[in-house]
Chain A
Amino acid sequence: EVQVVESGGGLVQPGGSLRLSCAASGFTFSTYWMNWVRQVPGKGLVWVSRINSDGTSTTYADSVKGRFTISRDNAKNTVYLQMNSLRAEDTAVYYCAMIVSRTIDYWGQGTLVTVSS
């Protein structure tokens, strides 16, 4: 069974940093693209970043470009999101999501990031 489990969320001050992790199991992790998607409570889904299967190509939403970095360790079946220079508007539930074929096929349960002083 495919499982995608996020961790690393929490409370951080504006300007601070946080690293989210997403551990995957039940499939050949190194084959698939992975993504981060966020959702402000009560609002819609917003795509944040994606990384290709071997980690050589990444893309970001304009709102996080230059501040967030996505990476992966295929030996550990884990994808990461390093978030720097955090702002109040980055407060959201962050979901890890996997693409099998052309669009998202699997979602994690999410981890809440709160940026507040």
Chain B
Amino acid sequence: QPVLTQSSSASASLGSSVKLTCTLSSGHSSYIIAWHQQQPGKAPRYLMKVEGSGSYNKGRGVPDRFSGSSSGADRYLTISNLQSEDEADYYCETWDSNSGVFGGGTKLTVL
């Protein structure tokens, strides 16, 4: 079963960029992951899938400011031109043997 590791918190200034990381455990570095955003008091929202190749596929309506990339076992979510509404929890997700796995989530603060 893969384990997804995320930093518990991150912060960046309004208008700047931030890169969040989701690390896959040993033996699972080729796995696809998805990023989900959860704004305070709301349900999660699917943002994008990121492949091991670095290609990514965003959900409908996700702003161009959001992009994905990959390096080895690391999957990244980059948010450019940070807005106040980007302050949220961000979770990564993957699958193995028909079971889902989530990372612990990163709380992003926009300063």
Contacts and interface: CB of A to CB of B under 8 A. Distances in A.
Q: Chain A interface mostly helix, strand, loop or mixed?
A: strand
Contacts, number: 62
A107 B95 contact: no
A57 B94 CA distance: 19
B88 to A, nearest CB: 13
Contact of A35 (B38, B100, B103): B100
A88 interface: no
Interface string B54-98: 000001000000000000000000000000000001010111011
Contact of A108 (B43, B91, B101): B43
A45 B105 contact: yes
Interface string A97-117: 100011111111110000000
Interface of A: 35, 37, 44-47, 50, 57, 59, 61, 95, 97, 101-110
Interface of B: 32-34, 36, 38, 43-46, 49, 59, 89, 91, 93-95, 97-105
